[in-house]
Amino acid sequence: MKLSKNLMKLLSSDIEPKISIIMPIYQQTQQVEVNLITYKNLLKEVKKELGQYPRREWIKAVEQLESLLLDRKLWNETKTALLIFANNEAIEICEVEHQVAAKSHVGSTFLVQDLLLPEEQIHRANFLIDLSRDRIRIYDVSSLKRVKLEGLHTHFSNYYDDFDVKSKINFRSVGKATFYHGHNAKSEQQEKEQSIYYRYLDRKLKNLHLKYGYEFLITGLPTALDNFLKLYAHRKYVSGIIHDSMANLSHSELKERISKYYAFERIARIESVKQKIIAAHKGNQLLNDLKIIEFALNNRDVQTLISFNDGKSYSIAHNKLLIKSLLNKINCRVIYTSNFNRYSSMNAILY
C-alpha cells in the first residue's frame, strides 16, 4: 500500500489527541447496517475516551468522524477493513485487504501497524478476467462482483458477425431454427472465432492498461486459457494467472480462491523478512532494545524496522517507532504470526 501525502502529513502532526478507529467491513448488502452499528459503537468509545481532553482539542475531529455516518458509499464499497485516523487538524481513511478486529484508540499516537503488513504491500490486480469457450466474465478484484468495462464485449458473438465470408460458413433460417453449413468443422470454426476475439480482447486490455493503469488476473478453462496465453502471456496488463475457471464458484468460494493465490506471495515476503533478520543477527547488525532503536532511528542508522506480534495487540511504543520510521522514509514491516514469540517483538536492522 502506498501511503498518501495527506496521510503522511497527518502522521507527522503534533496535534493531540490522535484518534484511531480500526474495523472490519462486511460487503454483503444485507450487512451494511452491521458496518454502521460497529462504527457507531467504536465512535461512542472514542467520545468516552476524549472526555479526558478539553472539548476544543477534539470537537472538529468528532464532527468529521460523525459525518462519515452519512457516507453510504464508504460502508457499501470498502474492501475488507477500514482504518480511520483523525485529529482536530485532519482525517484520513485507509482501506486494507486483511481481516481486523474492531478497535478504537485515543492518545498520543496513531495505530498504524495494520498498514505495514506484507499483504498490504502485495500488488493486486484491478480486475479478474475468466475465459471460457465463447465469453469472458469480469470481476472487480476488490469486491469480487461481476462488472462491465467500457466498450468491452464479453460475448464473442457480440463482437464478430453471424455471417463471415472468410469463415466459409453460410446459414439459412427456417422458422426459429438456424442451419449452418460450410467447409470448416465446428471445432475449427470455434478456434478461429476464439482467435479473432482474443486479438480484440488483447487490444482492449492494452488500451485500458495504458489509459487507466488497469492490470488483470487471467483465469479460465484450461483450453481457452492456454490459447490466450500462447499469444499474450507476457503483456504488461497481465498481473497474474490462475489455471482454473472461476465461472461456477460462489462469492465465498471465489474470495477463498483469490485469497489463496495471494497468500503464496505473502508467505514468500514473510520468509524473506525472517532471513534478513537471521543474516543481520549473524552480522551483529540487529537491535532489539526500544530505546536504542529510537536513538538509531534518529541517527538514521536503521535500514529496516520489523515488528512481530500476534495480530491482536497494539503496542503504543511500537507504533510510535513505526511512525518515526515511516516519516524518516525507512523501510518498515509488521508481521502477524502465531509464532511471534520466536522472534524479538521489535527488530532494527542497521546499515
| Pairwise CA distance, residues 236 & 170, whole Å | 39
| Pairwise CA distance, residues 109 & 183, whole Å | 74
Res. 10 pLDDT band, cuts 50 70 90: very high
- Positive or negative, the CA dihedral 185, 189, 190, 195 is positive
**Domain 1-111: CATH class, spelled out:** alpha beta
Provide mean pLDDT across the span 328-340. Answer: 87
| Pairwise CA distance, residues 145 & 258, whole Å | 13
Instruction: Compare 250 and 176 and report the one with higher pLDDT.
Output: 250
Q: Which of 330, 334, 337, 344 is nearest to 306 (CA)?
A: 334
pLDDT exceeds cutoff 80 at 26 = yes
Q: What is the pLDDT of residues 138-180, one digit of tens each?
A: 999 988 889 999 888 888 776 655 434 344 444 444 455 544 4
Q: Which residues contact 213 (CB under 8 A, 6 or more apart)?
A: 126
pLDDT exceeds cutoff 60 at 344 = yes
| Pairwise CA distance, residues 321 & 187, whole Å | 63
Check: CB of residue 66 under 8 Å from CB of residue 82. Answer: no
CB neighbourhood size of 134 (10 A): 13
- Helix then strand then coil, in percent of the chain rounded to 5, is 45, 25, 30
Domain ranges of the chain: 1-111, 127-155+185-248, 261-351
- pLDDT the model gives residue 246: 94
- Residue 172: exposed, middle, or buried by beta-carbon count in 10 A (0-12, 13-18, 19+)? exposed
Instruction: Compare 184 and 3 and report the one with higher pLDDT.
Output: 3
| Pairwise CA distance, residues 66 & 71, whole Å | 10
CA triplet 260, 271, 351: central angle to 5 degrees? 140
Name the strand (E) or helix (H) holding 187: helix 186-212
Q: Which of 243, 248, 262, 237 is nearest to 127 (CA)?
A: 237
CB neighbourhood size of 315 (10 A): 16
Longest dimension (CA), the chain: 87
DSSP letters spanning 56-124? GGTHHHHHHHHHGGG-HHHHHH--SEEEEEE-SS-EEEEEESS----EEEEESS---GGGGSHHHHS--
**Domain 261-351: CATH class, spelled out:** alpha beta
Mean pLDDT estimate for the chain:
87
